[in-house]
Amino acid sequence: MRIARINVEFEETHNEEITSDSKFFLLGGRGLSSQIILDEVPPLCDPLGDENKLILANGLLTGSPFPCSARTSIGAKSPLTNGIKEANVGGRPSIMLASHGIRALVLEGKSSELKFIVIDKEGIKFESAGNYIGVGNYDLHRELYKKFGYKIGIYSIGPAGEHLLKAATVATNDLEGYPSRHAARGGLGAVMGSKRIKAIIIVPLKNSQVKIFNIQAFREVSKPFAKNLAESKKNFSIYGTANMVRAMSAYGGLPTKNFRMGSYDKAMDISGEKLHELVIARNGRKRVPCSPTCVIKCSNIITDEKGEHITSSLEYETIFANGSNLLINNLDDVARIDHLCDDNGIDTIEFGVTMGVAMDAEKVKWGDSHKVFEILKEIKKGSTIGKLYGNGVCHLGEKIGFERIPHIKGQGISGYDPRVFKAMSITYTTTPMGADHTAGAAIAGRVANQEKDYGELTENKGKLELSYELQLYTTILDSLGCCYFIGPSYENMEIIKGALNAMYNLELTLTDVIDIGKRILKSEIDFNEKAGIPQDLNDVPEFFRTESSKPTGLKFTFTEAELKQFWKRLS
């Protein structure tokens, strides 16, 4: 496998082989992108300037039949947090990139014109994308299929990325051909836009260059694990992540009305059960995989009353941000917002949190979905209004002089009230990624070790340890190219060890595998310290400490010292 370093200004590519003695040998996905950022990106650079780099990295298991292992980690210095950022995404292109023998693409420099990067059997080349300026992801992908064939994989940006909006995403095409999968958090689409790259197109090869040293031993590990996941996640496959809406409201932790409440009296209107009924009634689809090796299949395809596609993979975090958070209780409206965000290439979470602040500040009426649609159209145009709402919640708060902003380190808080979900609040405050639930998702019922007692969901007991372990194991899964839905747990690290040893002819111990995660986290914390984001910033906005969440009456009660000293566990 190799790292392909691409200078987008001079259209030059340098290939760096990853050998067994390379420092990158046991780094993939998030681990690889974070190491390259630490080594090569000046911590104080402008995230949208020449010195930043965009890394698209496959995991150590991507290209293999290991379940749910075909995800791409996209990393850079974030224009939203000004720190290190990784966002991973499923879809088609990751496994195709691996088949070309490429572990990572590193985009360097800045082009003076909008371009495509095309990867085919002849190598890596450039084409002009000048005719596609301002084109949304849906139309763009349709045009690329006409030009390169339907079987291609695509990484692309929408107009938000071209406008360098700090909430912009990088989209990939899903297995049905829609641009519905997004590396959404952190504004990485703006970094791709700053490089003036509209899309990366991967033409699949007939034969993959991915090698597995001992395929029999590999299958002995992966096949039972895949079977177990498919069986144990059946309910998840039917209802998807939207199934959490009703439960989160019952716990009192569903952010509602800009985090002023934790329960929504109309939660059933936007619940997983309601979504399931809607999909079935309109002949949409359930049990849709997000990538070629996905066995959990928690995605869905949403159609309108005429049977025409609206959006795919309508997930809990999108429903919270643009549903309960905005007091919008119509699933068709939420699905339409999701479609427009996907087309624009903008993070549904950051956008929804931004709109929540706008409504709280009385700039938009609560529940006014039509005004939300209008603002998304302005984002596509890159107008003054579009820029006001497309650069993240902190940008909006600063511009309108509103201080009650639900963010950490510049990034909007996602779908779990930190006063109620105690371990999730620790993840939000301490992750180098900034308020990112995917960094260590301590949802109800999740534990990191079956032998340990982490206390009740809403009490502080055990939550520092739980968040630490979930963040550590999730970091490892991110480096493998695996979806964290397979389980960031101590028990699964044993399975990971067996897969890595069989694939790479190694003799790793469980300690060796866990050390991979520790190494990555240390790199990310090191970069952030150098970028001016010290551990002193590990905290929530003050209103979470002073305002009780309704109806639970809970507040955020971890001490500043606990948060500042959190990562001493790594030493």
* Extents of the domains making up the chain: 2-202, 235-394, 422-570
- Pairing mode of beta strands 72-77, 84-89: antiparallel
Task: Produce one character per residue of 109-126: b if its CB has 16 or more CB atoms within 10 Å, e if not.
Answer: bbbeebbbbbbeeeebeb
Q: What's the pLDDT score for residue 276?
A: 93
Q: What is the CATH number of domain 2-202?
A: 3.60.9.10
Q: Which of 455, 440, 419, 425 shows the shortest CA–CA distance to 543?
A: 419
> What tokens appear for 471 in the block?
């963040």
Question: What is the band of 313 on the pLDDT scale with cuts at 50, 70, 90?
Answer: confident
Q: Among residues of the chain, what percentage have pLDDT more than 70?
A: 100
Q: What is the CATH number of domain 235-394?
A: 1.10.569.10
Q: What's the pLDDT score for residue 32?
A: 98
C-alpha 541: how far from chain center:
23
- How do residues 8-37 score in pLDDT, each as one tens digit? 999 999 999 999 989 999 999 999 999 999
Q: Does 361 have pLDDT greater than 90?
A: yes
Query: Are domains 2-202 and 422-570 of this chain identical in fold?
Result: no
Contact by Cβ (8 Å): 98, 210: yes
Q: How far apart are CA 234 and CA 526, in angstroms?
A: 40
* pLDDT averaged over every residue in the chain: 96
Q: What's the pLDDT score for residue 494?
A: 96
Least confident stretch, 167-171, 284-288, 368-372, 451-455: 284-288
Q: Is the bond into 179 cis (omega within 30 degrees of 0)?
A: no
Q: What angle do CA 459, 463, 466 make, to 5 degrees?
A: 145
Q: How far apart are CA 81 and CA 83, in angstroms?
A: 5
Q: How far apart are CA 408 and CA 349, in angstroms?
A: 13
Cβ count near 25 (within 10 Å): 14
Q: Helices (H) and strands (E) in the chain — how many of each?
A: 21, 17
Q: What is the pTM of this model?
A: 0.97
- How do residues 143-159 score in pLDDT, each as one tens digit? 999 999 999 999 999 99
Cα distances (Å, whole numbers) of residue 221 to 380, 407, 497: 46, 41, 9
Say which CATH topology domain 422-570 has. 1.10.599
Q: What's the pLDDT score for residue 251?
A: 96
- How do residues 419-476 score in pLDDT, each as one tens digit? 999 999 999 999 999 999 999 999 988 999 999 999 999 999 999 999 999 999 999 9
Q: How far apart are CA 571 and CA 568, in angstroms?
A: 6
Q: What's the pLDDT score for residue 409?
A: 96
Cα distances (Å, whole numbers) of residue 344 to 77, 193, 377, 389, 542: 21, 13, 9, 13, 33
Q: How far apart are CA 493 and CA 509, in angstroms?
A: 10
Q: What's the pLDDT score for residue 503?
A: 97
Q: What's the pLDDT score for residue 474?
A: 97
Question: What is the band of 376 on the pLDDT scale with cuts at 50, 70, 90?
Answer: very high
SS3 category, 297 = coil
- How do residues 200-251 score in pLDDT, each as one tens digit? 999 999 999 999 999 999 999 999 999 999 998 888 788 889 999 999 999 9
Q: What's the pLDDT score for residue 238?
A: 83
